[in-house]
Copies of this chain bind each other. A is one copy, B any other.
């Protein structure tokens, strides 16, 4: 059965195609009886407009493209959820892809999306964003999420430096002196900023010295970093550049037979949902992931509507103190609602 076209509907409702189009798209120049006939006929025939045809004449696709790096679970899904929710509320669709961090591949995906989307949400944690968006030839508005931002595109960023400063400062306040930082992947802008927040806090503290070990945001790398570290002597605290690595560290600490926070304190970054369910619950810098996604979508929508929306926004992480840092005398969680966020959308 061939799917119904606008002409079929026109015939069934005994009007012209123009009238059908007007009736279904809410133009006000259609008389109520005619509109009813058209709507009835469309329903009867189960008519759905051909999106390609429509986009051919309107020059819109009502779709926004989203390109994410190969992020892990919880961060990724939180972001998607925020994006999809905002998108749907505007009647738009999401064309999603991820790149395994491979740069050439990301450019290829971007090119492939061009022509299918009205705007792009790009999460490129690397500094060479310009090279990437060049693949789009300026034909598609781009909004950046995370990473270092750009002069040429709107961006929704995380104040990583402030977050890392707060965490480090908190560890210092709790009495820890030797604090080791497990870094994120080289080249990753968010990771670099977190490192520099850590450095700033250590430097501001006076006599203490920095100590940085490499990592790449994966559990595995956190595990290895902590294992190597502990073999050479137990520091007062470990600050991992993201929660996922902190989980790896926790595992290594446990394997070693040490207790957190009694023998060693631990902190992460991101506040992924599972962070509070670890044993002990993880002190971390809370990033409003879903909200960032939503804000970026709103920005896209604004651009598409010709408005000039808030083009830059930086989200400051919230210090979330839990047991892992051993400094929870004045817990920030006290009295706050921190229930399961599985069901209710929290964006």
Contacts and interface: CB of A to CB of B under 8 A. Distances in A.
Interface of A: 1, 3, 46, 48-56, 61, 63, 70-74, 76-78, 80-81, 84, 88, 91, 93-98, 100, 109, 111-116, 137-139, 216-221, 223, 244, 247-248, 250-251, 254, 272-274, 277-279, 339-340, 342-343, 345
B84 A220 contact: no
Nearest to A83: B96
A23 to B, nearest CB: 18
The 5 closest A-B pairs by CB, nearest first: A220-B340, A218-B342, A52-B55, A73-B74, A52-B52
A100 B345 CA distance: 8
- How many protomers of this protein does the assembly include? 2
Contact of A72 (B50, B77, B98, B247): B77
A219 B251 contact: no
A63 to B, nearest CB: 7
Contacts of A97: 84, 88, 93-94
Nearest to A53: B56
14 contacts: A48-B111, A51-B116, A52-B52, A63-B95, A70-B343, A70-B345, A71-B77, A100-B345, A220-B339, A220-B340, A220-B342, A221-B342, A247-B274, A279-B279
A135 to B, nearest CB: 10
A202 to B, nearest CB: 27
A345 B54 CA distance: 38
Given A72-B77, A97-B93, A116-B93, A279 B278 contact: yes
Contacts of A343: 70, 216, 218, 220
A196 to B, nearest CB: 24
A25 B25 CA distance: 35
Which of A46, A78, A138, A274 gathers the greatest number of chain B CB atoms within 10 Å? A274
Contacts of A55: 51-52
A251 B277 contact: yes
Contacts of A94: 95-97
A115 to B, nearest CB: 4
A95 B232 CA distance: 50
A206 B181 CA distance: 55
A194 B317 CA distance: 40
B61 A52 contact: yes
Given A221-B340, A278-B279, 12 more contacts: A50-B56, A51-B55, A77-B77, A80-B96, A93-B116, A94-B95, A218-B342, A218-B343, A219-B342, A248-B277, A250-B277, A251-B277
B88 A78 contact: no
A192 to B, nearest CB: 19
Nearest to A92: B112
A247 to B, nearest CB: 5
